[in-house]
Structure 1
């Protein structure tokens, strides 16, 4: 009588596991999947109530009722129709959503709207003086500092804030002397200070030229 080979092979283990899974799946009672999903979902939660908030944006007061989790960017775009500020990465990495808060540039996608009640908020829509463009805006037009234009509002707001930082004597990683006060705005300085704003069209040479010219007027 021939001796039976009882050695376990990898193929046998895989076939056995597949057969077991099929057997268990076919043996589930009707509705068991839905019951399991309901158990893991947990109890339904009540919606978070909206909170009244007041903002001063581009020198105009706005009263809104917002979910406290609403970002400043979503409040501007979705609740006030100020769509100049763009939602690019939504992670604070591209700078397309840059606005000015009390003169300082911030990524509005990373900031909750509720944090900015009482602050002076300026978006790209509020930079011009009626029909007269802000010098940075005019320089971007003159130097063709954009292609698709998606990043341009954030680039312009960031440039306006950056020029204020230079006038205040803030150094950058490209500054040669950290204690000498206002530094010369070289191309290297501009590139370093604007490095948080990404242009996927790579219009950087024109952007640098526009900011360099605008620095002489603002």
Structure 2
């Protein structure tokens, strides 16, 4: 099968029903996407397909019908995305395991709502779990990213 991952065309010899989480990590070496629960409840495996956040543990390879973006496709340490920069500014990450999924969800959210309330943020981010409990920092980082998008 052929996929466009972070702007690059990649091929993998996989079955249609293989979860994209495993295609990305095990077949294509894209390691920013994380395994958390395997049942689309924690958000650690969130990627974008055509800009829409999806749980890659439940997205089957045969169902991919657009480009996939992972955390590696958002920015680099030298040129971070607005959300990544806000995450660093607010020192959101503790263990860091959930952060790629958190950032992917937040990125899609702030592109749709660049003036969110606390309730909007809590609702949008509710599907992403953080074992370390950095939710107040996540909320502040999302507000900062949204503000920075407004002034950009």
TM-score band by shorter chain is: over 0.9
Aligned mate of 2:83, from 114, 120, 136:
136
Shift of 1:68: 2.1
Residues 1-218 of structure 1: matches in 2 within 5 Å?
Answer: 53-117=1-65, 119-128=66-75, 131-166=78-113, 184-218=115-149
Q: Could you report, residue by residue, the CA deviation over 1:154-178 in whole angstroms, capped at 9, with x for unpaired residues?
A: 00000011122326xxxxxxxxxxx
Q: Distance in 1 between matches of 2:41 and 2:77?
A: 31
Structure 1 vs Structure 2 CA RMSD: 1.3
Shift of 1:217: 2.1
SS of 1:159 mapped into structure 2: helix
Q: Could you report, residue by residue, the CA deviation over 1:21-55 in whole angstroms, capped at 9, with x for unpaired residues?
A: xxxxxxxxxxxxxxxxxxxxxxxxxxxxxxxx110
SS of 1:211 mapped into structure 2: helix
Q: Distance in 2 between matches of 1:130 and 1:115?
A: 32
SS of 2:39 mapped into structure 1: coil
Normalising to structure 2: TM-score of the pair?
0.93
Highest Rg: 1 or 2? 1
> Unaligned stretches of 5+ in structure 1?
1-52, 168-183
Which 4+ runs in 1 deviate beyond 2 A?
164-167
Higher relative contact order (CA 8 A, sep 6+): 2
Q: Distance in 1 between matches of 2:12 and 2:2?
A: 6
